[in-house]
Amino acid sequence: MAREIVYLEHDSYQFKFGLEDFGLYGNVSVIETEHDYRQHIDSLVQGKGLWPSLVILDWRVPWTKPAREMVPAPEDVKSDGYFENAGARCLGYLRKAELAVGRVTPVLFYSVLEQEDIFGKLAERGYTPQQGKFDYLSKDVDDWKSKSLNDVVLGLLRN
């Protein structure tokens, strides 16, 4: 069975530097902005493409790429910080979309921010790892306590 992995990361060089292994688990869609992520999720709800087996989110992602004519940000992005809390908004957007398709997708927060900070901010929004089916992995290569990316991805895909 083919698997789809959605990876939201504005520094996509991270994908090219050591994350090619994701391809072993299925097709990987690398998305660089919150706006593009929302469009991608909307198209999946409409039945255009495979629903992801895993979503990997960075916490800090821009709303759009710089352009002459920028896509205006919705009110939730304006009030919550364009860049700062994108990961939480994207988790919320995914969870609302899942109601339409009757699924709960595992989510991995892959970030330089500390796990306690991310989980604390998610708890303020009503998400807990037990209820939300999500996990965390540090991007900090010097974090000796960090689990292996492959181990975490495999664990989430198996659940």
Q: Number of folded domains in the chain?
A: 1
Return the pLDDT at 39: 97
C-alpha span between 63 and 68 (Å, rounded): 15
Residue 55 near residue 6 (C-beta atoms within 8 A): yes
Residue 7, classed as helix, strand or coil, is strand
C-alpha span between 44 and 73 (Å, rounded): 21
Which CATH number goes with the domain that contains 88? 3.40.50.2300
Domain that holds residue 120: 4-158
The pLDDT tens digits of the residues spanning 2-59 come to 688 899 988 766 555 445 566 677 788 889 999 999 999 999 999 888 899 999 999 9
Return the pLDDT at 14: 56
146: pLDDT strictly greater than 60: no
